[in-house]
A and B are shown apart, each in its own frame.
Chain A
Amino acid sequence: MTDEGGAPRISEILQGGKVDEGGVHLKREVLLAQLFPSQVTRPKLGRYDVLEFVGEGGMGTVYAAYDPRLDRRVAVKLLRKASAGDPQRHARLLREAKALARLSHPNIVTIHEVWEEDGEIHLAMEFIQGEDLSRWQQAPHDWREVVEAYRQAGEGLAAAHDAGLVYRDFKPHNAIRREEDGVVKLLDFGLARVAGDPLEARTEPEPAGVDAPEGGEHLTRPGAIMGTPAYMAPEQLEGAPADARSDQYGFCAALWEGLYRQLPHERVILGGGIFEKEERVEPPRDAGVPTWVRRVLERGLAVDPAERYPSMRALLRDLARDPAQRRRRVLGLAGAGLTMVIGGLAIAELRSEPPTPCVELSAAWDEAQRDAAREGVSRAGGSAAAQTWTLLEPRLDRHAEELSRIRRQSCESHRRGLLPDEHYQLQVACLDRRQAAFTQLVELLGHADEAAVSNANKAITELPSPWVCTNTESLLAEHLPPDDPEVAARVGSLREELARASAEEAAGLYDQAEARSDEVLEQARTLAYEPLQAEALVRWGSARMLAGEADSLQRLDEALWMSLASEQRRVAAEAAAKRIFALVELQDRSADASEAIALARSLVARSGAADWRTRWALSNNTAVALERKGEQSAALGAYQEALARIPDEEDLGTFERAATLLNMAPVQLRLGQSTQAVDSARGALEQLDSLFGSEHPRWRGGKATLASLLRKSGRLAEAQATLDSVLERYSEDDPPPPWMLLEAARIARARDQHAGARQWIARARARLGEPGPRPTVWDVVLTAMDAEILAAQGYARGLDELERLVVTVGSDLRVDLDLGRAEARLSLGRAAEAEAILHAVLADPELTEWDRMSAELLMARVLVAQARWSDAREHLRGLVEGNRLVPVERAQALDALATAELGLGLRDRSLEHAEQAVRALRGADPDSDAMRRAEATLARARDLAPSPPLAGP
């Protein structure tokens, strides 16, 4: 080895056989798995997933690992290949390790498993979070606490001695104090004597000739580099074999240091590492340690082993004999100092670095994206742009912040071994979907998409919170990825596509959402992966349903069956809840709703983890179905249930709450609860204000709806003031939508402001532009209203225009037109003609319940006008018993009924119904036409009715 060719490369020299390639490989993969958790699989040691490199020392290397079988954390130690060239020694080491694994004591770290892999001995040990006593005792503690900690360590030593094992190298480093409960455990028991030959590796001073101390050196100087023999018994330093009494010495030296914060002795080591002598050092007087404790320790520290206690147990007995007080446990007292993660090896001094933070966090929301979004909102947000952005920005911030926080948290749990790989991957995939949806929304904003900007605040609160990704249980229940990793990756990215589709859906871009889900569906079919097909179908169906397409029902049905087949309860629940709406609202099949509701209810109940939105949708849609079937009380109950299902958390569910409240108000109105109805609408407005701001079309729409509710309650002055406050927010460039102008016309007409009403109609017409060849619903409604107003003033000229529409109108608008024609004729006193028209309308078997109601009411009025009391009464009885009428209609019906009954001489009945009519208008303007009429009828009924009996019932 003296020739040049034999000269080892410097790098080889430095790696010097101690850094074996396998070790480097393992450490490298562990680190890579920490830095790139979704790319690099955690290496395994035996059956354990390695989480983190913990430390390296003379004995070997320690890793924190996770035991998937028992779902717990362990420390895995690889004993250094010191015995590689010595099979006998290797065998002995293995035998010792296995003997240790059988040793079970609360104060000794448990060894779960010992095995050999690649010629190396591996130990899986109990994982302890805490600090070793050497670190722990750096902070000041009451002497009793210190004695208690060491008493536990002493119990461990005694138990080992009972089993015939000697520690040989006891020192504060080798005892760990568990953070959570203060339990102290011994580490590395017994291995020291076989593994590293402590007298060579640990007590030998630095290589001869290097830093050779002149005339001896105090080896106990602080920061001594080599394994310090400070705690070792003198006989060990002289080369004699160690026994239990040597451990006793070490124990006492360590405890002494813990109490007095200095070692009990000073030792002189001569050059060449020869131990010369030791001298006892007087401890500080002010240490506050009782003399009796010191006496016990001094006996244990006797230079002659024969003078020490006969056993650890004897020593512990004396140590427990506190004359002043009984031993008490000091468990749980907080120890100051750093908390470290320690496994089976005194690594405190090795582990100076903080644990790896999780870094795999993609930037979800950077300045460039923010600027683009702000720009997009200001370009497409119209007059509401500024307000939209003010409300939107913090929501986007919060969502992005939550995304990265949950990512960090999830990565952190994974890193600390609290989250198995499989669960972590599910969480990461879920977070990727949330990220995709968020990014999609942000991109839409950046493109200044009008719908997206208008719906942005709703959409961002509708995007599922990243929190859902922390619910591993529900992720496991729904999203088990396929086994084939390639298919799984494909499925993962398709699911991200669906998340994007749901962002588009939330942003009101139904076409895009549909197209994207359709594309995913195609791909899912190619993959023949049913769960994904179901997910794509429900997205497609949902987007189509929101777009108002009747055929969305088929998609949702398909999604339902497929998700049931692939056991995806959450998807099934969503499909079932949504199809109720498609069935009732888009296909007018209220009659079939009961079955759909029952099915959805059972599915939602079974899918424990169903999104609250699905539960809300179920209740809300059930209410819609009940309402359509005329079951107003039940509908109100279901709406209240829907409200109760919305969580009360910041702006979560704001839109849903507003939607349900606005749905609920007319139901309350029909149930005669006008005040509550108005309160509901006002509640909805509050929600819309906090979600969108008062410049937003949705808020304005909500306010106009409130005006309409007020009108239907007969509170006309209020209705007008409310609507005026909305209308004045519009301008030339930003005109109100036609339906608001129509509402303004209706309010004006109800207040007998004929000219004003006709002006509103003219404005609405102007807004709509030139009529096309086929009349729209607007043409019909506006023309009819104009004709009615003219008729109310005695002019028949409006009728001509109405009659012209008869030729061109489609069958779907025919009823609306006919009702208008009849109403106008009634006003003109041409009741017989009106009757004929209504007769035809009522003869139509296809007539919906709601149209029938309107026709019946009008017919009754026509009959009253002709003094055909009996016939009128026939039509009215059903109407007033049902609950489809809003207060003004109810008052109108009751008034007509009272009049008919008066005509028939049924005075009691008439009085009763006239009173009801007035009551229905409770809160209405006293000077309104409806109220005046109701009161007039009541007065007539009172005049004709006999006086009420004097005595009460």
Chain B
Amino acid sequence: MWTQGANDGQLITEWKRGDQSAGAELFRRYYAPILRFYRSKVGGQAPDLVQRCFLRCIEIRPRIREEDSFRCFVFGVARNVLLEHYRRARSNARVDFGEQTVEDLSPTPTSELAQEERSQLLLQALRRLPVDQQIVVELYYWEELNAREIAEIYEVPEPTIRTRLRRAKLRLEQELCGLASTPQIARQTLTSLDAWARRLRDQLDEPERP
């Protein structure tokens, strides 16, 4: 049995031991982050992708090791499911997720996702990043995963992730400038983004986040 305060590792142990309620609790914890992850990329189809992602996790449950971070595991699966989704949507075409952007792949009106014009701008800018850059940025800032954890998801060396983060930030700034419709909105957005970007830079320079 597990208690409310159980950490992910304990839940994994119980779940693998056959306690379905521990499994349910794990997915309960990660529903909102994973929904957020998909929402910025596929809009209204997000709940369906969350479902597919969770199913995949359950299918490959035996491969989760208790010492693994469930957070990294589930985001790794989420990314694979997303890429599959894009590939399927494009049927046979080869998709390069280092180049293609979410906007190319999943044209959803940003107004469906965010109301404020400023938020829409930021989101739109994010969606114009190559898929993998967008994911890296979001995992880092929203999910507060550190570069090492992201590297684990991508199965690449940590410095690669740092480089991607840096590039993503530059591209994001460019996109935002190109998108701003009125000088006022552009200024507002850039101001808040600046704070965000400053944070980005600071964090990037730190080797490890607490």
Contacts and interface: CB of A to CB of B under 8 A. Distances in A.
A50 to B, nearest CB: 13
A207 B179 CA distance: 10
A351 interface: yes
B109 A350 contact: no
A716 B32 CA distance: 83
Given A10-B141, A36-B24, A210-B124, A353 B116 contact: no
A356 B55 contact: yes
A53 B120 contact: no
B194 to A, nearest CB: 8
Interface string B55-96: 100110000000000000000000000000000010000000
Contacts of B54: 31, 35
Contact of A16 (B20, B21, B113, B142): B113
A18 B113 contact: yes
Contacts of A11: 36, 141-142
A357 to B, nearest CB: 7
A27 interface: yes
A35 B27 contact: yes
A8 B109 contact: no
B48 to A, nearest CB: 3
Given A28-B31, A31-B47, A39 B113 contact: no
Interface in B4-44: 18, 20-21, 23-24, 27-28, 31-32, 35-36, 39-40, 44
Given A36-B24, A353-B45, A16 B52 contact: no
A56 B21 contact: no
Contact of B35 (A24, A55, A226, A360): A24
Interface string A1-33: 111101111110111111100001001100110
Contacts of B119: 8, 13-14, 16
A13 B122 contact: yes
Given A13-B123, A27-B47, A223 B24 contact: no
A350 B181 contact: no
Interface in B158-183: 179-182
Nearest to A18: B115
Contact of A13 (B32, B112, B114, B181): B114
Contacts of A57: 44
Contacts of A352: 45, 48, 89
Contacts of B124: 210
A15 to B, nearest CB: 7
Give the one of A24, A201, A207 with max B CB within 10 A.
Answer: A207
A35 B22 CA distance: 12
A1 B188 contact: yes
Interface string A35-65: 1101110000000000001011110000000
B125 to A, nearest CB: 11
B123 A7 contact: no
A206 interface: yes
Interface in A909-935: none
A356 B27 CA distance: 15
B108 interface: yes
B36 A15 contact: yes
A209 interface: yes
A359 interface: yes
Contacts of B20: 36, 38-39, 360
Contact of B39 (A19, A36, A39, A356): A19
A223 B116 CA distance: 25
Nearest to B49: A353
Contacts of B131: none
Q: How large is the interface on A (under 10, 10 to 19, 20 to 34, 35 or more residues)?
A: 35 or more
Contacts of A40: 24
A368 interface: no
A19 to B, nearest CB: 7
Interface in A344-380: 350-353, 356-357, 359-360, 362
Contacts of B36: 11, 14-15, 19
A807 interface: no
Contacts of B59: 359
Nearest to A37: B20
A768 interface: no
A836 interface: no
Contact of B115 (A10, A17, A356): A17
A172 to B, nearest CB: 19
Give the one of A8, A14, A359, A362 with max B CB within 10 A.
Answer: A14
Nearest to A27: B47
A35 B24 contact: yes
Contacts of B55: 35, 356-357, 359
B44 A350 contact: yes
Contact of A351 (B18, B48, B109, B114): B48
B196 interface: yes
A10 B105 CA distance: 22
A353 B51 contact: yes
A125 to B, nearest CB: 19
Contacts of A39: 20-21, 23-24
A206 B109 CA distance: 8
A24 B111 CA distance: 19
Interface string A181-220: 0000000000000000000010000111110000000000
Given A4-B195, A7-B195, A56-B44, A356 B51 contact: yes
A36 B23 contact: yes
Given A11-B142, A56-B47, A2 B32 contact: no
A225 interface: yes
A53 B35 CA distance: 13
A730 to B, nearest CB: 46
Contacts of A9: 142
A359 B188 CA distance: 48
Nearest to A52: B51
A27 B40 contact: no
A725 B45 CA distance: 72
Give the one of A7, A13, A18, A350 with max B CB within 10 A.
Answer: A13
A201 B58 CA distance: 39
Give the one of B51, B89, B180 with max A CB within 10 A.
Answer: B51
Contacts of A34: 51
Contacts of A1: 188, 192
Contacts of B98: none
B50 interface: yes
Given A11-B142, A28-B32, 4 more contacts: A8-B119, A14-B40, A18-B113, A24-B32
23 contacts: A2-B187, A2-B188, A2-B192, A7-B195, A7-B196, A9-B142, A10-B196, A13-B123, A14-B119, A18-B112, A18-B113, A24-B31, A28-B28, A31-B47, A31-B50, A34-B51, A36-B20, A36-B27, A39-B20, A53-B48, A225-B107, A356-B51, A359-B58
Interface of A: 1-4, 6-11, 13-19, 24, 27-28, 31-32, 34-36, 38-40, 53, 55-58, 201, 206-210, 223, 225-226, 350-353, 356-357, 359-360, 362
Q: Give the 4 A-B CB pairs with smallest separation, nearest first.
A: A209-B181, A353-B48, A16-B114, A7-B192
